[in-house]
Each structure stands twice: as structure tokens, then as C-alpha cells.
Amino acid sequence: MNGFPGSATFVIPTMDEQDTVGTLVEKIDAACGGIGLPHDVLFIDDGSTDETWSRIEALAEQYDHVRGIRFRRNFGKAAALSAGFAQATGDVVFTMDADLQDDPVEIPAFIDKLNEGFDVVSGWKQKRKDALDKTLPSKVFNWLVSRMTGVHLHDHNCGFKAYRGPVTKDVTLYGERHRFVPVLAAARGWRIAEIPVVHHARQFGQSKYGVSRLAKGFLDLLSIFFLTTFGKRPFHFVGAIGLLFFLTGGFGLVYLAAMWVISRQLESMTDVDLHASALFYYCITALLLGAQMFLAGLLAELIVSLSDQSKTPYSILQDTQSPRETTERCPS
């Protein structure tokens, strides 16, 4: 294994994982110590109702490289990761679940893949130790994400990932977007890779997975698709549909007007009564709907333009002047 020229921050969202956080720190320390990787561990307690927070406080007292952040209530995994990313100072940022199903022994494999020049390395649980009601929807979901976004990963849902530090500052998370960090990163030009990882059966606690999370994931997938495809130019999407409706209605009215004129000129032809034709009202509706969508597209374009004034519409790969931040690390 090649050494990683820097340090690592482990961002670990937790919710009711009192029995695992201590063991997880020990496993991370052992894995990083084996490769000489300086690191710190950042737990985000996302509204736990058991003794998780007191265990994290005890770990922070015991180890200088362990820190905890506690939410006032459960805000969701995306919010937890976002808070962790904001505080992470490592050259590489790992995310993993706190339930011990992700195995820290895989850390060297992630480092190796990063050393190949990739910016995001996602885990792939080839042999999942979960029930069918969890694995089957996940497979369908992963297939849809890959097809709709063009980011072909076997396991978008895997929480075990490694990011180069700047990637975590370049993506915005909310809702259920934590599943789509590689997609968002790819849209910004970062290089994505995937490696198979060991997946252990859950020994403590209960899974937080449910049907509601799956439904939210599908809705966020649609949101991600439109944001990554038309996020910067919404007029190209909404305006194009509006133009299609407008032209369809316009051509329909031209056709009806032509038939009305012809029926007036030819005695053998029955007069066309526009007001009695359902097509006339369909065309009027299409014209109005098209005009509204066209204007909505222009308004969306204006909103995006104004919001982008405070954001950078690009992502820098290299800079000849890039100051490096140094921080205290757990020696390994």
C-alpha cells in the first residue's frame, strides 16, 4: 500500500449506537496505525435517545483526537454529514456508519484508490448482510440512480466512502442527498471510483432503514437529476416544454382558422363552427399553458442567476498558490 501524503478525518453520523462507538474508535485507530495515517474522529450525534452522547463525551475525554457534535434533535443523515464536512480538516475525509457493519480494515484500500488519482472512492457492499426487504429496493434504487445520472456505481447507498478534503466543501447536502454525494461531486468534475468492501451483519441496535426513507430517496433522485441536468439553465427545460405547448396550440389554431376560411369559400363543405369544436379550446389551453411555462422558465433563470452571484459556478482542480492548513492529529 502507498502512503497517503496527509491526514484523515472520520465523519461518523450516529443515532442510538451506544454499544458500538467505543469499539469503532479502537478499530479506526488500529487500521490507521497500521499504515501510519494521522487522523481524527468526529461523531455527529443525530438526536440519540440512549447513552450514545455520554459515550462520545467519554471517548472525547479519553482521546485527544476524538470529538463529538450533538444535534438538538434528529435532523437526518444528510444534515449530520453536512455538519461533519464543515468541521473536517483532514486531507481525506472518510464517512462510515457507526453500527460496525462497515469495517475500518478497508481503510488502506480506500487510500490506495485515492493514490491512483481519484477524488471520491465509494464502497460497494458486494455481499450484504441485510434482509431481502432492504437489499432488493436498494438494488432497484442503485440501478435507477446509475441510469438517470450517468454515475455508474453498484452501491450508491453505501455509507463507507472516502473524499479528498476539497470535495466535501464543494457539495451541498440536505434532505436525503447523502446518497448522492458522488453524483453531485461528478457534476462538479471530481473523479469517482468504487471498491468492494466487507459488510458485516448488525450486532447491536436496530436498522434505521424504512419505506419512508426509500420514498424520500426516490424523490431526491428526481431533484438531483433535474439539478445536475438543468440546474444552471432551467429555461432550457421549462422553456422548451412551454414552447412545445405554445407551438402546438398555435398550429392547431392556424389549422382551425384555415378550415374555417375554406368552409366559407366552398359551398359543398359544411361550415366550421370554431366555438363548437373541442380542438379550439384545447388549442387555447395549450397556448396559455405554453406562455405560462415559458415565463416560468424565464423567472427560474433569473432566480438561478441571482443565487449564483454568491456561488462559484466552477470547481478548481489546481492552483499554483494553494496554502495548506495544518492541524493537530492523532500520531499513528
Shared domain check, 244 and 204: no
Query: What distance in Å separates the CA atoms of residue 108 and residue 8, rounded to the nearest whole number?
Result: 12
pLDDT at 328: 45
Global model pTM greater than 0.85: no
The answer to the question of residue 130 being in a domain is yes
Cβ 4 vs Cβ 93: under 8 Å:
no
Query: What distance in Å separates the CA atoms of residue 13 and residue 87, rounded to the nearest whole number?
Result: 13
Instruction: Please say which residue of 230, 265, 300 terminates a domain.
Output: 230
pLDDT tens, 30-44? Answer: 999 999 999 999 999
DSSP SS3 for 213: helix
Indicate the number of domains in the chain: 2
The answer to the question of residue 319 being in a domain is no
pLDDT at 308 over 60: no
Cβ 212 vs Cβ 190: under 8 Å:
no
Shared domain check, 242 and 225: no
Q: Say how many C-beta atoms besides its own lie within 10 A of residue 67's C-beta.
A: 17
Range name among 58-67, 217-226, 280-289 with the lowest pLDDT average? 217-226
If you ran DSSP here, which 8-state letter would residue 177 be given? G
pLDDT band with cut points at 50, 70 and 90 for residue 20: very high
Chain Cα centroid distance, residue 245: 33
User: Which has the higher per-residue pLDDT, 208 or 47?
Assistant: 47
User: Which has the higher per-residue pLDDT, 179 or 111?
Assistant: 111
Shared domain check, 58 and 24: yes
Q: How confident is the model over 285-313, as a mean pLDDT? A: 73
Mean pLDDT, the chain, whole residue set: 81
Q: How confident is the model over 195-208, as a mean pLDDT? A: 73
Instruction: Please say which residue of 201, 230, 259 terminates a domain.
Output: 230
Shared domain check, 248 and 170: no
If you ran DSSP here, which 8-state letter would residue 95 be given? E
Shared domain check, 213 and 175: yes
pLDDT band with cut points at 50, 70 and 90 for residue 325: very low
Shared domain check, 71 and 192: yes
pLDDT at 16 over 60: yes
Q: What is the largest CA-CA distance in the chain?
A: 100
- Distances in whole angstroms, Cα of residue 103 to Cα of each of 192, 263, 300, 323: 21, 79, 45, 34
Residues spanned by the domain of 239: 234-310
The residues, ordered by sequence, that sit 6+ positions from 125 with a Cβ below 8 Å of its Cβ are 155, 158, 196, 197, 199
- Distances in whole angstroms, Cα of residue 71 to Cα of each of 8, 14, 82, 282, 317: 23, 10, 12, 53, 34
- Distances in whole angstroms, Cα of residue 9 to Cα of each of 67, 164, 165, 197: 11, 10, 9, 19
Shared domain check, 96 and 23: yes
Q: How confident is the model over 242-261, as a mean pLDDT? A: 87
